[in-house]
Amino acid sequence: MSKSDKFWDKTAEKYSRKPVPDEEKYRQKLSETQEFLSADMHILEFGCGTGTTAIYHSPYVQRIEAIDISENMIEIGRKKAEAAGISNLTFSRATLEEYKADSSSLDAVLGLNVIHLVPNRKELIAEVARILKPGGIFISSTGCLGDSYFRFLRFFIPFLKPLGIVPDIFIFSEAELTTEIKNAGFSIERQWHYGPQNIEVFIIAKKC
Ligand SMILES: C[S@@+](CC[C@H](N)C(=O)[O-])C[C@H]1O[C@@H](n2cnc3c(N)ncnc32)[C@H](O)[C@@H]1O
């Protein structure tokens, strides 16, 4: 288990009780995502946390696979899905690379509040492109700290991480992220930002 898994395992219980920071924007993301979903779709969410979003989307698709590096996060997700009687949602402990979905096998991939936590962002986006069908949808919501005052966090993270106060956090701008998504073979269908200094960026991209 890496230091990052430990951070999220320790945080899981508290995370599951924390209210969504901006309910209105969360609802907007859910409804814009659902515009791109349909009942015959097979979709995957990586970094699913405790499965809240996957549970909301489950009635709109045929099947959802939800993966996360934290066993504690997905255990809470499993219990919530079971309590809600949801049968088309499965949880597994894995990164996207470890999960090794078949090429061109998925209709949509979601990565919400997670891309800023992965060290190998370009490889991750390339993997999303590999596993999506042509025309498949990549939906992401990402803290892009690179253009904000929060970019100075990069000087503090090396000291805070060993204390278990913050997880691995990678700092990049919205422009860098969108360029990487386009370079991986996507067209951007929706893009808007919100939050303090507009650091949260919601993107719906389509595999060309
Ligand atoms: C901020 S939480 C977001 C959870 C959920 N997507 C949401 O929006 O509420 C980040 C999640 O990403 C997971 N995570 C961190 N690094 C990851 C990685 N490399 N691969 C997959 N999941 C990861 C953590 O375990 C945690 O559950």
144-159 pLDDT per residue, tens:
999 888 887 887 888 7
**19 Cβ partners below 8 Å, 6+ apart?**
none
State the total domains in the chain: 1
Which pLDDT band, with edges at 50, 70 and 90, does 1 fall under?
low
The neighbour count for residue 195, using CB atoms within 10 Å, is 15
pLDDT in tens, 98-107: 999 999 999 9
Ligand 1: nearest atom to the Cα of 117: 16
* Domain assignment of residue 11, given as a range: 3-207
Task: Report how far ligand 1's centroid is from the alpha carbon of 131 (Å).
Answer: 19
Ligand 1: nearest atom to the Cα of 141: 8
Q: Is the per-residue pLDDT at 126 higher than 80?
A: yes
Task: Report how far ligand 1's centroid is from the alpha carbon of 1 (Å).
Answer: 15
Query: Average pLDDT of 196-208?
Result: 96
Query: Which residue would you say has higher pLDDT here, 26 or 148?
Result: 26
Task: Report how far ligand 1's centroid is from the alpha carbon of 83 (Å).
Answer: 22
- Give the helix ranges, DSSP H, for 18-156: 23-35, 52-57, 71-83, 96-99, 121-131
Residue 77 to residue 1: CA distance in whole angstroms: 20
**159 Cβ partners below 8 Å, 6+ apart?**
none
- Kindly report the pTM of this predicted structure: 0.96
**87 Cβ partners below 8 Å, 6+ apart?**
none
Dihedral over alpha carbons 29, 34, 35, 39 (to 10 degrees):
170
Query: Is residue 177 in contact with ligand 1, taking CB distance under 6 Å?
Result: no
Nearest CA to ligand 1 atom 1: 113
Task: Report how far ligand 1's centroid is from the alpha carbon of 48 (Å).
Answer: 6
Cα angle 12-131-203, degrees, rounded to a multiple of 5: 65
Task: Report how far ligand 1's centroid is from the alpha carbon of 49 (Å).
Answer: 5
Helix, strand, or coil (residue 118): coil
**85 Cβ partners below 8 Å, 6+ apart?**
none
Query: Is residue 117 in contact with ligand 1, taking CB distance under 6 Å?
Result: yes
Domain of 130: which CATH number? 3.40.50.150
